[in-house]
């Protein structure tokens, strides 16, 4: 039987739990070194930076802007317009709730420590 031929190349999120999908969504946004670097820089330079990220990270301005958009979409950062500049910073509350979800996943442990070999 043929596949539905409409959603190829797309993750079948409907067959997974909300928790599994949430974990993978957070993980996915961390799945690019530029976004990791952006977040690390925002943690380091607490006071919100923006155009600076383009200087710190050697990627073109539209590329940085796009990564920032994805981080904002997931709620991990906030952006504040200040004149012609936009000042970004970590969204502390959302970062904390994200951590809880990820920790629960990463801290899983096997009840029986016997491996398969």
* Choice from 19, 20, 40, 63 touching DNA (CB under 7 A): 63
How far apart, in Å, do the first and last CA atoms of the chain sit? 38
Nearest to 42 by CA among 33, 52, 27: 52
Sorted by sequence, the CB contacts under 8 Å of residue 22 that are 6+ apart come out as 101
> Binders of DNA among 12-41, rule CB under 7 A?
12, 28, 31-32, 34
Q: Which is nearer to a copy of itself, 84 or 114 (CB)?
A: 114
Query: Does the footprint of DNA cover residue 5 (CB under 7 A)?
Result: yes
Tell me the three state secondary structure of residue 39: helix
Sorted by sequence, the CB contacts under 8 Å of residue 78 that are 6+ apart come out as 72, 88, 89, 90, 91
Give the shortest CB-68-to-a copy of itself separation in angstroms: 13
Residues in contact with a copy of itself by the rule CB under 8 A: 11-13, 15-17, 20-21, 23-25, 27-37, 39-40, 43, 46-48, 57-59, 78, 80, 87-90, 92, 98-99, 102-103, 105-117
Query: Does the footprint of DNA cover residue 75 (CB under 7 A)?
Result: no
* Choice from 23, 50, 71, 77 touching DNA (CB under 7 A): 50
d(Cα 46, Cα 89) in Å, to the nearest integer? Answer: 7
């Amino acid at each position: 039987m043929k596949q539905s031929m409409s959603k190829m190349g797309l993750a079948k999120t409907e067959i997974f739990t909300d928790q599994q999908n949430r974990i993978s969504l957070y993980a996915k946004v961390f799945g690019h070194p530029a976004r990791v670097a952006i977040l690390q820089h925002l943690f380091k330079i607490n006071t919100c930076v923006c155009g600076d990220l383009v200087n710190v990270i050697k990627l073109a301005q539209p590329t940085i802007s796009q990564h920032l958009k994805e981080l904002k979409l997931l709620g991990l950062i906030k952006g504040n317009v200040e004149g012609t500049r936009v000042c970004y910073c970590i969204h502390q509350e959302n970062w904390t709730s994200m951590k809880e979800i990820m920790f629960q996943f990463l801290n899983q442990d096997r009840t029986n420590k016997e491996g398969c070999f």
